[in-house]
């Protein structure tokens, strides 16, 4: 039985609404989940709220052109999104091995969407509907809107707009741009003339038609010279702000240009509330449930998105390029209303799993001038240290959490999307927030993301120094002791990030040793499109400074760096030993308390390779074997004397 209120997801549902022809057919690579944690649900609902008829086409058979024709030709355009997740990241591990499950598909079934889904879906549409406008959106398109390095093919690729055959890319979160595009198309403006919408990327055949733009190095030059791409990426980063950002253009030939308009303005709090207050069914569409539950939905069903954007600007994170650095937050009233709806769900057990966003404790812009003047192009808010203008204040977030905890039916409110510990320490009232956190919002373990402990690597990551993390650890431990709680920090760690040699990897292993911690999971650096770290990985240069950066690319070296973090796992022992030998740290092979691994069985060690324990035994009178020999000799001597 169809739950009333879903967007039409079958031809029968479309007809039941009296709609002969939808304004938009929205092709998505995920199962259709009508929940505001899923981008297609938001865009579909926003269009619906502006009077447009949207039909959802979830996971069509990309090998069959008939699958794209189930609704016929839409009146205005096809919308295409690979889904909530990049299709290549969804399909492949960092070692380029095929994953076994797809969390965004019913039953976790793999193979229901193609690799490079935006390109495949768009070309499928174009093979049937040659002139119907196609508009790409979502994270896959957003991060490939200009020329970019592609890790899976190890090549430098063109803008996705050229390879897909689509007409426009709506990049970023897209609520503003999609409504402006819809209104323009509905008024009769041709898709080729939509060159004025902020937050979009379009094609041009004439250089003279591109006005007020910064021209980036042309594609062929960047492909031939990685240094030019690093310079181009630095310009892109500086113009990723909706207030300060300029129009950018890339040349591919004398008659082919890709033009990126400035980013859309952030949503106001009132606009955020309107978007999240739309009539989402907070459920998977029934047609998608025939094969089982959608694993990704269970992770977020009882979570609240309180903000978007991130001024943390970690080098390896794509959110800066996608959502921007200016925080947009919902009101407490909006979040409380969604929580009340959540409590009414039959399977709600009293636990709100998260209240956050890219960074949970970012609830307002970093400083007062950001909304007026934009984010600073030449400096970061938190890196390498907090900006003097930073407004670090957790007071409003604390009040929100207290209100949510007080709701009837709520047993516990967790914070799982992560806090930025350097931002916590920058708050003059940090102890108040840490107390609130430890007392009410942690269940045994708090996950934090120092990522590394070598300051040399951390500087490339855009993360605070090791001393900042250790200061937070001390405060967290002290607070739990005061509260009489046994709660621990679980650090997320990353191996093989640009800047990390075996020396830094050993430093991280020693930190794990001293902590008495072996992480079960370690994230090997994944070079996804359009992150600053990926630019370093491809070019060997830090685009912020143009300094050379060491990049571990050899699979065997990457395996050694990863194994060092998990040195206690017996299956990693040979890799760890090789890494320690290559880095000149054989002092860490042995039986001493500071050693990482024991020596190989049967290895003959001379005096130059004595372990700390064997030296201690020698000073105390020798090893057990030596003592046994001495004892036997003494007994023999006594026996001879008696004789």
Strand 213-215: give its sheet, edge to edge: 54-58, 24-28, 77-81, 134-137, 168-170, 200-204, 256-260, 247-253, 213-215
Q: How confident is the model at residue 624, as a pLDDT?
A: 40
Q: Tell me, what DSSP letter sits at residue 443?
A: B
Please tell me the distance from the alpha carbon of residue 377 to that of residue 204, in angstroms, as a whole number: 28
Q: How confident is the model at residue 536, as a pLDDT?
A: 98
- In the numeric block, which tokens belong to residue 494? 């990353």
Pure H helices in 170-213: 175-186
CA distances from 334 to 49, 269, 307, 400, 414 (A): 18, 10, 12, 11, 18
- In the numeric block, which tokens belong to residue 428? 């003059």
Q: How confident is the model at residue 603, as a pLDDT?
A: 67
Number of other CB atoms surrounding residue 138 within 10 Å = 30
What are the start-end ranges of the E strands in 16-157?
24-28, 33-34, 54-58, 77-81, 134-137, 148-150, 155-157
pTM for this model (two decimals): 0.91
Please tell me the distance from the alpha carbon of residue 643 to that of residue 638, in angstroms, as a whole number: 9
Please tell me the distance from the alpha carbon of residue 97 to that of residue 362, in angstroms, as a whole number: 35
Q: How confident is the model at residue 348, as a pLDDT?
A: 96
Q: How confident is the model at residue 319, as a pLDDT?
A: 85
Q: Which residues of 317-327 are buried (b: 16+ CB within 10 A; e: fewer)?
A: bbbbbbbbbbb
Q: How confident is the model at residue 519, as a pLDDT?
A: 83
Residues of the chain predicted below pLDDT 70: 1-4, 602-643
């Amino acid at each position: 039985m169809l739950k009333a209120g879903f967007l039409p997801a079958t031809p029968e549902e479309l007809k039941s609404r009296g709609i002969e022809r939808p304004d938009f057919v929205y092709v998505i690579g995920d199962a259709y989940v009508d929940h505001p944690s899923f981008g297609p649900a938001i865009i579909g609902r926003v269009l619906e709220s502006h009077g447009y008829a949207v039909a959802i086409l979830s996971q069509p058979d990309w090998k069959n052109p008939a699958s794209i024709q189930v609704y016929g030709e839409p009146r205005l355009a096809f919308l295409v999104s690979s889904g909530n997740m990049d299709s290549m990241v969804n399909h492949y591990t960092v070692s380029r091995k095929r994953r076994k499950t797809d969390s965004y598909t019913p039953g976790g079934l793999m193979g229901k969407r193609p690799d490079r889904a935006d390109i495949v879906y768009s070309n499928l549409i174009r093979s049937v509907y040659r002139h119907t406008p196609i508009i790409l959106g979502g994270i896959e398109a957003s991060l490939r809107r200009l020329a970019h390095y592609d890790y899976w093919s190890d090549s430098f690729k063109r803008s996705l707009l050229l390879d897909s055959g689509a007409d426009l890319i709506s990049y970023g979160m897209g609520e503003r741009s999609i409504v402006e595009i819809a209104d323009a198309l509905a008024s009769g403006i041709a898709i080729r003339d939509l060159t004025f919408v902020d937050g979009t990327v379009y094609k041009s055949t004439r250089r003279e038609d591109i006005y007020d733009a910064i021209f980036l190095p042309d594609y062929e030059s960047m492909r031939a010279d990685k240094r030019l791409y690093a310079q181009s990426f630095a310009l892109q980063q500086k113009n990723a702000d909706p207030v300060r950002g300029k129009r950018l253009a890339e040349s591919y030939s004398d008659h082919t240009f890709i033009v990126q308009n400035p980013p859309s303005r952030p949503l106001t709090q009132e606009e955020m509330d309107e978007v999240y207050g739309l009539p989402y069914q907070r459920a998977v569409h029934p047609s998608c449930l025939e094969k089982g539950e959608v694993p990704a939905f269970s992770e977020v069903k009882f979570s609240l998105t309180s903000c978007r954007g991130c001024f943390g600007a970690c080098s390896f994170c794509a959110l800066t390029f996608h959502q921007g650095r200016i925080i947009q937050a919902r009101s407490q009233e909006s979040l409380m209303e969604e929580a009340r709806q959540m409590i009414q769900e039959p399977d709600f057990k009293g636990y709100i799993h998260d209240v956050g966003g890219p960074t949970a404790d970012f609830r307002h812009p970093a400083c007062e001038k950001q909304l007026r003047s934009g984010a600073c192009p030449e400096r970061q808010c938190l890196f390498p240290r907090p900006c003097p203008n930073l407004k670090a204040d957790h007071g409003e977030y604390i009040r929100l959490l207290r209100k949510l905890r007080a709701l009837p039916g709520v047993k516990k409110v967790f914070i799982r999307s992560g806090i930025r510990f350097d931002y916590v320490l920058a708050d003059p009232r940090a102890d108040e927030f840490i107390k609130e956190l430890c007392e009410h919002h942690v269940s045994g373990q708090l996950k934090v993301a120092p990522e590394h402990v070598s300051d040399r690597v951390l500087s490339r990551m855009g993360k605070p120094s090791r001393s900042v993390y250790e200061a937070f650890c001390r405060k967290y431990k002290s607070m739990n002791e005061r509260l009489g709680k046994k709660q621990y920090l679980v650090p997320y760690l990353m191996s093989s990030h640009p800047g990390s040699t075996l020396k830094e990897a050993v430093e991280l292993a020693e930190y794990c040793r001293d902590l008495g911690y072996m992480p079960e999971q370690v994230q090997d650096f994944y070079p996804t499109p359009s992150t600053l770290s990926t630019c370093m990985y491809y070019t060997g240069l830090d685009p912020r400074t143009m300094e050379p950066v060491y990049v571990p690319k050899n699979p065997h070296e990457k395996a050694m760096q990863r194994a060092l973090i998990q040195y206690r796992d017996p299956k990693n022992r040979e890799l760890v030993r090789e890494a320690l030998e290559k880095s000149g740290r054989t002092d860490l092979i042995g039986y001493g308390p500071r050693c990482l691994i024991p020596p190989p069985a049967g290895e003959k060690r001379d005096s130059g390779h004595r372990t700390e324990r064997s030296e201690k035994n020698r000073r105390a009178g020798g090893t057990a074997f030596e003592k046994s020999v001495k004892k036997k000799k003494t007994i023999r001597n006594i026996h001879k004397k008696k004789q």
